[in-house]
């Protein structure tokens, strides 16, 4: 019997879902899996290729790396198009700004070196440092992850930069939304002990699909009640927090830490 025996946890992730689910099940949880997004394959994404070619069209002065996984995915996709070496060389001539240690690891893994790393791992610190630099007239390559960040990229344009956005992690709603509807129903019916989110797009689209299903208000009422909403970090939590839902977040933004948090938060509860 594990610490989470008798407790049902909803998981909305697509990427690395198997690893996350296996860890929860080892702790005894009953996992209900309903991916709320489907990720567009990188090597067949025409928007990513077009963005890469735009970056290569002329020298870039600054590069912004928001996620390690996204940066590695971008380079892998570029390799499939025969552009990786050119891309690494071009980015190596720029000043690279990273959002925390995972982004730094991916940058160094490609043989590059960052000029700045955000200690808080926040986009606010990352883009704030860039906006404070002399970016007027500069070409700036921004690697996004999951969703555009107009609140951070628009000030760069206002400061006179040409911003080239590439999005290696692009998503769509799942082709079959019935599992998501079932998860919404389960949350409203009080059948879940927790919902776990590992990306902001998954959290945002969970709410969007509940709205289109006609049960958003009921879902939000459940999420604001005894149901635990656990998120891997503050970026993931933002769509829920903005909707008035309080979330739990581990100190370290890692899947293993999220599992431990769920064990701590739910493990002492009696099974129903």
Tell me the pLDDT tens digit for each residue of 92-147.
999 999 999 999 999 999 999 999 999 998 899 999 999 999 899 999 999 997 67
State which fold the 42-169 domain adopts.
Rossmann fold (3.40.50)
Residue pointed to by tokens 């939000």: 220
Report the C-alpha gap between 226 and 229 in whole angstroms.
9
Mean pLDDT of the chain: 92
Q: Residue 271: is its pLDDT beyond 50?
A: no
Q: Convert the pLDDT of each residue in 70-90 to its tens digit.
A: 899 999 999 999 999 999 999
> Boundaries of CATH 3.40.50.10090 in the chain?
8-39+173-266, 42-169
* Nearest Cα residue to 72 out of 36, 39, 34, 102: 102
- pLDDT mean over 187-203: 94
Q: Looking at the domain 8-39+173-266, which fold is it?
A: Rossmann fold (3.40.50)
Averaged pLDDT for residues 242-255:
91
What does the longest C-alpha to C-alpha distance in the chain come to? 62
pLDDT digits (tens, 9 = 90+) for 46-69: 889 999 999 999 999 999 999 998
- Identify the pLDDT of residue 125: 95
């Amino acid at each position: 019997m594990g610490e989470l025996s008798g407790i049902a946890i909803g998981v909305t992730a697509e990427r690395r879902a198997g690893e996350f689910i296996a860890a929860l099940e080892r702790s005894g949880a009953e996992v209900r899996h309903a991916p709320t997004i489907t990720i567009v394959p990188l090597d067949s994404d025409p928007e990513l290729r077009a963005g890469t070619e735009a970056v290569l069209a002329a020298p870039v002065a600054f590069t912004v790396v928001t996620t390690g996984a996204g940066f590695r995915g971008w380079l892998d996709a570029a390799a499939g198009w025969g552009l990786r070496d050119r891309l690494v060389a071009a980015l190596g001539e720029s000043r690279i700004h990273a959002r925390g240690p995972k982004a730094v690891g991916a940058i160094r893994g490609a043989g590059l070196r960052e000029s700045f790393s955000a200690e808080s791992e926040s986009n606010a610190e990352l883009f704030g440092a860039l906006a404070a630099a002399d970016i007027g007239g500069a070409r700036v390559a921004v690697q996004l992850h999951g969703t555009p960040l107009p609140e951070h990229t628009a000030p760069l344009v206002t400061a006179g930069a040409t911003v080239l956005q590439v999005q290696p992690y692009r998503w769509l709603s799942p082709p079959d939304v019935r599992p998501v509807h079932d998860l919404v129903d389960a949350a409203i019916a009080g059948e879940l002990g927790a919902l776990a989110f590992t990306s902001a797009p998954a959290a945002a689209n969970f709410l969007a699909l509940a709205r289109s299903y006609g049960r958003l208000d009921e879902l939000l009422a459940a999420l604001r009640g005894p149901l635990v909403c656990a998120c891997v970090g503050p970026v993931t939590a933002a769509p829920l927090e903005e909707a008035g839902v309080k979330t739990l977040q581990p100190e370290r933004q890692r899947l293993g830490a999220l599992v431990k948090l769920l064990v701590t938060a739910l493990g002492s509860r009696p099974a129903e």
